[in-house]
Chain A
């Protein structure tokens, strides 16, 4: 194989970069983790995160495999609509800004999104919510683990399993040592790397491969990519928006941040994070449009972004791409590990299994949860069953059903738990039916629509109002 192997990095360099980053991030996590004295420090960074770190973590966490790998994938599949439509996922962060302020106001001492659902809606709704949360968290964790493997394979030809294993070990390592404090601090550095790297790649690409030549090639041989009336892309647009809203509104990744941010920082941080995020999918997606002009037709659409960037920028560029995408993946993977382990520790272990657990015991259990999640994700990632896009869109049916129960639950006292639980369960089932019977592009939309109708009936029929004071819960651990 001399002519057909065109990887930008050799396997040794790929491995070297992984080891370098792994050691640096784990050491940094350990350094930051020394300040964690209580479970609150570990899980919520002492509830004292300022605006700069808060905005950076909001933006960096949302820049993930979605933006660096799936945005080019969707552009390669859906053209202009793919990248513009994907950038609308920023609306999730922007619309979460007022919700975050409300969360902080209602639950100044809360820990997780599960806490909110349990106190606001009761046990049946909590069960529905926790199942949706866990399924979604695993879907996202798996997609991130897979993305690490795909990234290394696309850039260096290194076996998928090695890249996937490496990113999981690294993120589990520094999240375990540093908790949310390390997650947020690394997110800040990773956000800077992502912004600088993405802007550099896009500028270099336009400078090297002219816009005219890209337009000419795509118009001649792939005309549908420039077509504004592209049916599948039009159908995908709002489905993607509802998927993004569902992901952010329900996930403890964002709730734990809202609760960790200092004072009134949450509103501004999510608004700023969303605005900073908005142009990133446009830039990363645009890269994919250059693929046909460069003669790159990837084996799997989710590999197109790294392959184009590496082709244009050569070996040095491939290193930059590697660092940017690796940072993006790590910034999301660590957040998800931290938030999901909080959910398991707080909502399941502390509230259901061991109510008398001490603070130290909870902190230790949180660490074990992080390791357990990492191992389970690794096992599920091994067979590489689906493309990233397919995996994520499946999760859309679950998370979109939580949009109205969460929004109304935060503001509207007349929605009761029975209706909220029904909305989540029936909405999810309807979304899954849409996914299998019609296509992935309706799953989140159908799920949200059905859930909205049930919630509207619930508000309309309810005659009693929820007492917001019930949101204040006394802690039992010492």
Chain B
């Protein structure tokens, strides 16, 4: 074991230096806590991104090319022209991505909306795995699990009886 006093000193110094150091990103304009209205990015400059392939699990990530600098929402519609907006989601904080989940089979359209306008529209297609595939794996797993349980219980009792 290293010398405890020396180790405590080094650990305390390392903690102090590491934890008081601010990452360089914290000093970049995007993270500045006091931004003026003039610095707020126009909505048409946001480029919304989404999954490239068909979504099989009902959840996916939407992303922005840059972290948002003001409040914005994601609008969802069943039509590419957004003739009716199904629902809106708040974009959380200044993160550049948001995860949406719980979508049933279907085609969904999303765009970013701010006080000044809307962004590009992206299309997300959700198609869950077929149930036969899900149940095949489920029952294969169930069978294997029962084998493990029966094996452990039986062998435990056999050795337990033998030992006593």
Q: Which residues of A contact B (CB under 8 A)?
A: 1-7, 15, 18-19, 22, 26, 30, 76-79, 95, 98-99, 101-102, 105, 157, 159, 161-162, 165-166, 169, 173, 176-177, 218, 220-227, 229-232, 234-235, 237-239, 241-242, 245, 292, 295-301, 304, 307, 363-364, 367, 403-404, 407-408, 410-412, 439, 441-442, 445, 448-449, 452
Contacts of A449 in B (CB 8 A): 140, 144
Contacts of A218 in B (CB 8 A): 102
Per-residue CB contact flags for chain B residues 105-144 toward chain A (1 = under 8 Å, else 0) read 0000000000000000000000011110111011011101
Report the 4 A-B pairs with minimum CB-CB distance, sorted nearest first: A238-B141, A222-B102, A299-B95, A411-B155
Residues of chain B from 89 to 114 with CB closer than 8 A to chain A in the complex = 89-104
Question: Cβ of B18 and Cβ of A231 under 8 Å apart?
Answer: no
> Would you mind naming 23 contact pairs between A and B with Cβ atoms under 8 Å apart?
A1-B32, A1-B35, A2-B34, A4-B69, A4-B70, A19-B19, A76-B101, A77-B57, A169-B15, A222-B101, A231-B131, A232-B58, A232-B134, A234-B135, A237-B138, A238-B144, A242-B141, A296-B92, A297-B74, A299-B93, A364-B1, A367-B2, A408-B151
Given contacts A99-B152, A225-B102, A442-B137, contact A169 B18 (CB under 8 A): yes
Question: Cβ of B101 and Cβ of A225 under 8 Å apart?
Answer: yes
Contacts of B69 in A (CB 8 A): 1, 4
Contacts of A19 in B (CB 8 A): 15, 19
Question: Cβ of B148 and Cβ of A223 under 8 Å apart?
Answer: no
Question: Cβ of A224 and Cβ of B58 under 8 Å apart?
Answer: yes
Question: Which of B68, B74, B151, B152 is the most central at the interface, judged by chain A CB atoms within 10 Å of its CB?
Answer: B152
| Nearest neighbor of B141 in chain A, beta-carbon distance | A238
Residues of chain B from 2 to 34 with CB closer than 8 A to chain A in the complex = 2, 4, 7-8, 11, 14-15, 18-23, 25-26, 31-34
The yes or no answer to B71 lying at the interface (CB within 8 A) is yes
Question: Cβ of B134 and Cβ of A234 under 8 Å apart?
Answer: yes
Q: Besides A1-B34, A169-B15, A231-B128, 19 other CB < 8 A contacts?
A: A2-B35, A4-B69, A4-B94, A5-B93, A6-B93, A19-B15, A157-B93, A161-B23, A162-B19, A166-B15, A223-B102, A224-B101, A225-B101, A238-B138, A296-B90, A297-B91, A411-B155, A448-B144, A449-B144
The yes or no answer to B145 lying at the interface (CB within 8 A) is yes
A297 to B156, CA, bound (A): 47
Question: Cβ of A1 and Cβ of B94 under 8 Å apart?
Answer: yes
Residues of chain B from 25 to 62 with CB closer than 8 A to chain A in the complex = 25-26, 31-35, 56-59, 61
Question: Cβ of B144 and Cβ of A452 under 8 Å apart?
Answer: yes
From B23, B141, B156, give the contact of A239 (CB < 8 A).
Answer: B141
A239 to B147, CA, bound (A): 15
Question: Cβ of A298 and Cβ of B11 under 8 Å apart?
Answer: no
In the complex, what's the smallest C-beta–C-beta distance from A299 to chain B, in angstroms? 4
Contacts of B145 in A (CB 8 A): 238, 241-242
Question: Which of B20, B91, B95, B135 is the most central at the interface, judged by chain A CB atoms within 10 Å of its CB?
Answer: B95
A222 to B76, CA, bound (A): 12
From A166, A173, A222, A298, give the contact of B18 (CB < 8 A).
Answer: A166
A238 to B147, CA, bound (A): 13
| Nearest neighbor of B97 in chain A, beta-carbon distance | A299
Contacts of B35 in A (CB 8 A): 1-2
Question: Cβ of A6 and Cβ of B92 under 8 Å apart?
Answer: yes
Question: Cβ of A95 and Cβ of B163 under 8 Å apart?
Answer: no
A101 to B163, CA, bound (A): 12
Question: Which of B69, B101, B148 is the most central at the interface, judged by chain A CB atoms within 10 Å of its CB?
Answer: B101
